[in-house]
Structure 1
Amino acid sequence: MTEPHWLTAGEIAQAFAARTLSPVELTNALLARIEAIDPKLNAFIRIDPEGAMAAAMAAEAEMAAGRVRGPLHGVPVGVKDIIDVSGLPTTAHSKVLVDNIAKSDAVVTQKLRQAGAVILGKLSTHEFAIGGPSFDLPFPPARNPWNPDHHPGGSSSGSGAGVAAGLFPLALGTDTGGSVRNPASACGIVGLKATYGLVSRRGVFPLSFTLDHVGPLTRTVADNALLLEAIAGYDPEDPGSAATPARHFGRLLDAGVRDLRIGFIRHFHERDVPAHPEVAAALEDVARVLQAEGAQVHSVTLPTLNEFAGINRVILCSEAWSIHAPWLRERPGDYGQLARQRLLPGAFMTAGDYVGAQRRRKEVIAAVEDLFQSYDVLMCASSMDPASRIEDAVETGRTYSRQARTPFNVTGHPALAMMSGLASTGLPTSVQFVGRYFDEATVLRVAAAYERATGWHKKKPPIG
């Protein structure tokens, strides 16, 4: 059998059913791997071995009694540390909340427990999901398992690093300007920002109310569909939640892409923010692979990345300021430098700026919707560069905003990032697929076809 730490959630479920592995055995194996590997990566802020083992034993007892809750029953998962897990700290990687103990589970945490998943602990993030990677916080920043001298993307940094390193098969992250898809891109895994409103944010520390999403990070597309199935659903107490019947996200995984129409937004990486040559070459190879699989791929045009980024910046900064203003006024020194720098511009945004951004937002949404009259899925770059060295603040600052993820926080369309190859440095490159509202099934369909055709998901980082 494959080493337990590299098993996918689907393979774990099969091993449990065949009784070649048990939840307790798997949890013990992952806790041992975390102890050995995580000191190099800092994926965890807080490991909960007692809680994890109790959940694993409960899952095993249910199995023995013939009760299996579904494909995630007994499967370990990590949770980003802005998502509440009852009894554990929700620190947001910040001194401001370092003593904050969650009194109850977030809705997505409740859903994980209902599915029988085993929660291993809380994972590193950029401070308040915006300020990082930083070295002036209570906890060290997570590192990239492909090369720990490089950053793993963020803000769901521990989620990406831990999944890629085989510390757990599944993780939850959040995405306001790309923070699920950035670590997926940097760490060579699969990260999905579902349609805005598909997954509840209740119990998740907010950054921007109209841009925030919770999303799954996994090593395979099939696992991503499984985890999304577990956490999706209407929540009447989340004002942004959508009442939709959209489910069965993995139903098209084996359908292939023959005759699907794919719009390739080349100008994002060719003109708007010129990509690293190896990233650009990998994107062209993605297009060739999909065409060879039977898809029709054509170049399409949207507003520029700068327009999308400007809208995102005004909305995010304005909404984040409304959350952080009291603390920034009363205890600014408790924030790390990067988070403080990124939050303070919100103090200078006017109501006119915010309203103008929201009006322009409707126009760019209409532009994307217009493309979906002719195309089933869009594809484009995710990150324009492989991950920079984590201690090179200048290069990280230069490259971090060089990405094409924020357009789809602005519009709310589902967007998935996954590995498209390895650069000459040995670090992953990435591609992004975007779909119609609540059509995650087709996005996952295209991603699964590309995954099968290339096998990039079988590559493992040299972390041990």
Structure 2
Amino acid sequence: MNAEVDRLQDLARRLRELPLQETTGALTFTPVRGNSRYSDYYRARPLTSGSIAEARAAMDAGEVTAAELTERALATAEEHADDAIFVHLTASEARARAAEADRTDPADRGPLHGIPVTIKNNIDVAGLATTCGSPVFADRVATADAAVVETLREAGAVILGTTNLHEMAFGSTSVNPHTGAVANPRAPGHVAGGSSGGSAAAVALGIGFASLGTDAAGSIRMPASCCGVVGFKPTHGTVPLRGLVPTSMSHVDHIGPLATSVADARLLFDVLTEPGSALAATLDGVVVGLPEAYFWADLDREVEAVCRAAVSSMEASGARVTPVACDIGELMPLLGVAMFAEATVLHGPHIAANPDRYSPALRERLLAGGTVLGQDYVRALRARQIVVDRIGAAMQGVDLLAMPTMSVPPVRIADVDTDPRVALMARHTSPFNQTGQPAISLPAGTTPGGLPVGLQLVGHAYGDRRLLALAEAAEAALAPGA
């Protein structure tokens, strides 16, 4: 345990030396909301056709059945049975649900009628063990659906099963010593990203039209980037968390969709919340802030080239790109002091009862948090507030921020224990769990070696639908031949 303890103690020492007078008064949490000048130019528009909308239309026209869609998804899942994508594949239940959907009167069909989806295995699905990818919770059988699962069922979705993840959702690779390393269908031999790796891989393969993932430091957006799909983290609090096994005691856990298109992610978000007016998908006149000091510094050159080209495509579609100040580099590593202290509180009783059910590496990290002093925990919360304030300042006068989702490409599965880039994977995603504002990862292209690269767009708090509209316009601008 010495290495992790030493690392946390070094972070605590740095916190004690850091001037923290920049923020004063009580610590608060309000998702960052800026002061955009473009809040009223959107126009209502019809829902655009996407793969889910097309599937729904095909079912309504009698061209395909829910049973056929489900069988296609299950067949693909069986073909990839060795790829560690699922914790539970509930084929018989899915077939029964699809058959029921096909008997439903068209007038009674919901927005996800007959649509196969998957759920990350740290979200409760009634009758299944919510293991969080760990033998610690092997017997934790959910007695009820999580709120989001309940909502999906009411909307008509067919749940195929629960997907694999990084152990305890506490990592960025989904290389799990207990449940296997999730294979990346877009980059064989490389990590699928974490912790929602199984969800991203399932979507990339077409095993369901979408998946629900969770995100406490980038766990939706990193896998989306690694697997070349769309991953959306909504504003904190907009999607209910009842039935989620938490990773933290702070306001960082989120539930959101992974899908093959922004339109499908938007549809899932509408189902999980209250549908709002559709907004015009245009970049014309939109101000895009580039936070150069932290989010565009120290990048892998190939990742930077792909994302700079993506931003240029947005600019060519009418966006106005401007640099913004957002220097949080000295603060972000220090927030780990609070994160690990909270993790120790959450996991301490389980480690005491079943220490051998944790991998040695995770057990060491979790126990290290027990060495954090109360005063250092409070200092970390103060540093967190400064991060929130600085990002809030960066959002003033812009419609969104843009940066690479990850500063590095997906690393090789064989190298996760030795490649120092693993520690950099959440560098660009975790700040927006601290602020709570919405963020989305879009496929931006690939490196010369074919590794997927994601572009992250970050919007104003509670401006989720606006961000989704802008992301849809950006998606169109980035499309080949656009």
1:314 is displaced (CA, Å) by 2.4
Matches within 5 A, 1:161-172: 161-172=201-212
SS in 2 for 1:149: coil
Counterpart pick for 2:53 among 2, 5, 10: 10
Of the structure 1 ranges 391-400 and 92-101, higher mean CA displacement relative to structure 2 is found in 391-400
2:247 maps to which of 207, 217, 220: 207
Distance (Å, rounded) in 1 between the aligned partners of 2:346 and 2:457: 31
Q: Distance in 2 between matches of 1:174 and 1:69?
A: 24
Partner of 2:215: 175
Selected match of 2:92 from 30, 47, 50: 50
Alignment partner of 1:334 out of 357, 360, 379: 357
Residues 379-398 of structure 1 aligned to structure 2 (within 5 Å): 379-398=402-421
User: Could you say if the C-alpha distance between residues 103 and 119 of structure 1 is closer, same or farther in structure 2, counting changes exceeding 3 Å?
Assistant: same
1:427 equivalent to 2:467? Answer no
Alignment deviations for residues 85-120 of structure 1 (CA, whole Å, 9 cap, x no partner): 000111111011112211111111111111110100
Does structure 1 conserve the Cα–Cα contact (< 8 Å) formed by 2:117 and 2:157?
A: yes
* 1:349 alignment partner in structure 2: 372
- The equivalent residue for 2:108 is 67
CA 1:136 to 1:448, structure 2 compared with 1: closer, same or farther past 3 Å?
closer
One-letter amino acid of the structure 2 residue matched with residue 307 of structure 1: L
State the alpha-carbon separation in 2 of the partners of residues 114 and 54 from structure 1: 15
**TM-score normalised by structure 1 residue count:** 0.89
For residue 337 of structure 1, report the CA deviation from its aligned partner.
Answer: 2.8
Residues 58 and 134 (structure 1), Cα distance of their counterparts in 2 relative to 1, 3 Å cut: closer
Match of 2:268 among 224, 227, 248: 227
Which residue matches 1:236?
Answer: none
1:123-177 deviations in Å (ceiling 9; x for gaps): 0011110156476633212110013311100000100111011111100111011
2:90 alignment partner AA: D
- Once structures 1 and 2 are overlaid, which stretch shifts more, 348-357 or 97-106? 348-357
- The answer to whether the 8 A contact 1:132-1:338 is kept is no
Task: State which of 286, 293, 312 in structure 2 corresponds to 1:267.
Answer: 293
Q: Which of 283, 305, 313 matches 1:257?
A: 283
Q: What is the CA–CA distance in structure 2 between the aligned matches of 1:379 and 1:456, rounded to whole Å? A: 20
Deviations 1:31-81 (A, max 9, x none): 111111232x221111001111111112111145x31112x1111110000
1:152 touches 1:183 (CA, 8 Å); kept in 2? yes
1:248 paired residue number: 276
CA distance, structure 1, for counterparts of residue 480 and residue 294 of structure 2: 24
Structure 1: which 5+ runs fail to align?
A: 1-6, 234-246, 459-464
**1:220–1:457 CA contact under 8 A, matched in 2:** no
Specify the code of the residue in structure 2 equivalent to 1:52: A
* Superposition RMSD in Å: 2.0
Check conservation: 1:268, 1:381, Cα contact below 8 A: no
**Cα distance in 1 for residues equivalent to 2:200 and 2:356:** 29
Structure 2 distance, partners of 1:134, 1:283, is 24
Once the two structures are TM-superposed, the CA of residue 344 in structure 1 deviates from its matched residue by 2.2
2:126 corresponds to 1:86: yes
- Give 3-state SS (helix, strand or coil) of 2:165's partner: coil
Which is worse superposed, 356-365 or 195-204? 356-365
Report 1 or 2 for greater relative contact order, CA contacts < 8 Å, sequence distance ≥ 6: 2
Unaligned 5+ segments in structure 2 are 1-49
Kept in 2: contact 1:211–1:316 (CA 8 A) = no
* 1:51 partner SS: helix
Which of structures 1 and 2 has the bigger CA Rg? Answer: 2
Q: Secondary structure at the match of 2:443?
A: strand
In 2, distance between residues paired with 1:404 and 1:441? 22
Alpha-carbon separation, structure 2, partners of 1:220 and 1:375: 24
For the 8 Å contact 1:77–1:171, the answer to whether it is kept is: yes
Query: Is the contact made by 2:191 and 2:413 (CA closer than 8 Å) also made in structure 1?
Result: yes
Find the aligned partners of 2:172 and 2:299 in 1 and give their Cα distance. Answer: 22
Q: Distance in 1 between matches of 2:242 and 2:441?
A: 24
Q: Which amino acid is the alignment partner of residue 80 of structure 2?
A: I
Q: CA shift at 1:230, angstroms?
A: 1.4
Q: Which runs of 4+ in 1 moved over 4 A?
A: 131-136
| SS of the residue 1:31 aligns to | helix
Task: Tell me how far 1:366 sits from its aligned partner.
Answer: 2.0
Residue-by-residue CA offset, 1:380-431 (whole Å, 9 max, x unaligned): 1211111111121245453343430011011111111111111112110111
Tell me if the contact between 2:131 and 2:137 (Cα under 8 Å) persists in the aligned partners: yes
